[in-house]
A and B are shown apart, each in its own frame.
Chain A
Amino acid sequence: MSDTATTTGRAPSVYVPSAEALATVLAPGERPPRPSALSASLTFGWRALLKIKHVPEQLFDVTAFPIIMVLMFTYLFGGALADSPRDYLQFFLPGIMVTSVVMITMYTGVGLNTDIEKGVFDRFRTLPVWRPSALVGMIFGDLLRYVLAAVVILGVGLVLGFRPDGGLIGVAAGIGLLVVFSFAFSWVWTFFGLILRSEKSVMGVSMMVLFPLTFLSNVFVEPSTMPGWLQAFVKVNPITHLVAAVRSAMAGSTDPSNTMWLLLWSAGFVVVFGTLTMYRYNRR
């Protein structure tokens, strides 16, 4: 590296590995104790926040998309299905909030798919930490996006004339239920994000699942207006339970039956798809 001598003062100084400097960082120190599962997950959550900080464009789908959804459906269906968009909104806003946030969960799968194509997951997977923490932390970061989307929709709703009887507490409880479900549902997408080849195919599969799931529910209209066979599906659809529970919470009442079903579905998603995800994650 004799050329270092010829660099002028203006050029950036050339790095010359110095034995002494390397010696200080290579001295084997005490290994700190392994971090707890929660601490490791939160650290990965911090990574997700840093990514939002550095790539803020990724918040587009949790802001612009929900606003478009609310405006579009309120004015498209409002006149036909209720006396006015404003009346329809009282019924519809919790539903569109659920639809938008549940649709956003698919980006967890898309994000994981692109993330894992880069080498950084190789490093994460060679770390001696609780195995699911990288994925749990990633979803922690996504929870922030879900809350943000819900709040944006609520804001647009309030401007358009949504007046929830449940007040602040009811609305917060509704968003809480929605976030719990979305956390659980995200594990479906981590699984698909791991088994599918490209982010395009993850998107494709997500759409195929999400459209029927959100539209064949009580989000847009009362199920009593549908044919019997469709009602049968709508009745067991987890989105129906979620929307019913969120609606009552925001209206200031409780709906124990639907809330219970919703929590059971959530637990089911975590157990089944969480397990499948970790199986794939370990086998890759």
Chain B
Amino acid sequence: MSKRTTGLAVEAEGLTRSFGETRALAGMDLSVPAGTVYGLLGPNGAGKTTAVRVLATLLRPDGGRARVFGHDVVAEADKVRARVSLTGQYASIDEDLTGVENLILLGRLLGLRKPAARQRADQLLAAFGLTDAGGRQVKKYSGGMRRRIDIAASILNTPDLLFLDEPTTGLDPRSRNQVWEIVRAVVAHGTTVLLTTQYLDEADQLAGRIAVVDHGRVIAEGTPGELKSSVGSGTVHLRLRDAGQRPEAEKVVRAALGVPVQLEPDPVALTARVGGEGSDLAASEQAARALADLARAGIVVDDFSLGQPSLDEVFLALTDHPAVPDDERDEQLEAAR
């Protein structure tokens, strides 16, 4: 047991990989402690998927080196494969086959005899709430069910390291919560999880540590708390009844919070970051103070919310550009696959 939960699951130094003109990985360093959930956070085209594919032995890096549980991903690929599992961004499941058939197929390929593979398949389907759907073709599953059968297939051999590439992209909130619960259970049983995501709140919910990825390299790394405090732990969004009061409101809020206030394109909206490093007050307290000051100044606020900084804001703070999904770059990477 100690072997599964101590030390580093992943060590990568200076990984590079290009597809034609596009540098998908531009010297990426990573170290993922075993027994935790580690989040790779970044927009489309940042290089997250390429990194996962290199670590899962699907892609050779052009330069740099990576080890998974001490085994080199290129030279000892087979040893790495014996300990990892991958749930890709697109269903890593045969959609023409039924759920049961998929799981039996993988069980057999992992060395189980037919009765044992069948038993394991039934167990997994039950645990993932898919018993009734087991006999149906996977292409007839809903998005959430597809994700679940995919993850079930990935833990068939209880891997030591599980890669989840954007496990909740495109899922409805309930399915997303289910996936989160599953991820928590998986890590509680000693499997290390490396997950990529575009959502800060997902990384925040699940990951012990997060690496923020941009243009093929890690631009920030730390616990969610560390990252957020470097950015500001929340954002206040305000919508006024009267657009004419906005200049006045900006002054009041800036005075109350002591931070710059952003005027949104919407003429009645303004936002401000709160809970940053220099502040000793909690974000909610700061926000409450701003609201009170606005009320005192006779400014009517129709809509108020206090939210986590978005990925966009994290990016803006860490780089000098917002986290625009680099779709062109993403498409180039896709095409190069």
Measured CB to CB, the residues of A under 8 A from B are 1, 3, 14-19, 21-29, 31-35, 39-40, 43-44, 46-47, 50-51, 54-55, 118-120, 122-129, 283-284
Contacts and interface: CB of A to CB of B under 8 A. Distances in A.
The 9 closest A-B pairs by CB, nearest first: A15-B129, A32-B111, A119-B90, A17-B181, A123-B92, A26-B189, A22-B185, A21-B127, A128-B82
A32 B119 CA distance: 14
25 contacts: A14-B174, A15-B144, A15-B178, A21-B126, A22-B127, A22-B186, A23-B185, A23-B189, A24-B127, A26-B158, A31-B110, A32-B113, A33-B111, A35-B108, A43-B105, A46-B105, A50-B105, A51-B94, A119-B89, A120-B91, A122-B86, A123-B153, A125-B57, A128-B78, A129-B109
Nearest to A127: B109
Residue from B53, B109, B181 having most chain A Cβ neighbours under 10 A: B109
Contacts of B128: 15, 17
Nearest to A14: B174
Residue from B129, B182, B337 having most chain A Cβ neighbours under 10 A: B129
B84 A47 contact: no
Contact of A123 (B86, B124, B185): B86
A40 to B, nearest CB: 6
Interface stretch (B95-103, B193-201, B234-242, B317-325): B95-103
Given A35-B109, A43-B105, 14 more contacts: A1-B174, A15-B128, A15-B130, A16-B178, A17-B128, A17-B181, A33-B111, A35-B111, A118-B90, A118-B91, A122-B88, A123-B92, A126-B85, A128-B78
A118 B92 CA distance: 7
B127 A50 contact: no
Contact of A50 (B58, B78, B101): B101
Contact of A51 (B88, B97, B126, B148): B97
A43 B108 contact: yes
A28 B90 contact: no
A50 B112 CA distance: 19
Contacts of B154: 123
Residue from A29, A43, A120 having most chain B Cβ neighbours under 10 A: A120
B97 A25 contact: no
A123 B174 contact: no
B157 interface: yes
Nearest to B107: A32
B191 interface: yes
Nearest to B79: A128
A32 B101 CA distance: 19
B232 interface: no
A29 B78 CA distance: 20
B23 interface: no
Nearest to B60: A283
Nearest to A46: B105
Interface string B50-83: 0001001111100000000000000000100110
A126 B57 contact: yes
Residue from B174, B182, B186 having most chain A Cβ neighbours under 10 A: B174
Residue from A21, A22, A54, A118 having most chain B Cβ neighbours under 10 A: A22
Given A3-B174, A51-B97, A128-B82, A43 B185 contact: no
Contacts of A50: 96-97, 101, 105
Given A50-B101, A118-B91, A25 B129 contact: no
B158 A28 contact: yes
A66 to B, nearest CB: 24
B58 A122 contact: yes
A50 B59 CA distance: 29
A19 B189 CA distance: 11
Given A32-B112, A126-B81, A120 B124 contact: no
Contacts of A14: 174
B190 interface: yes
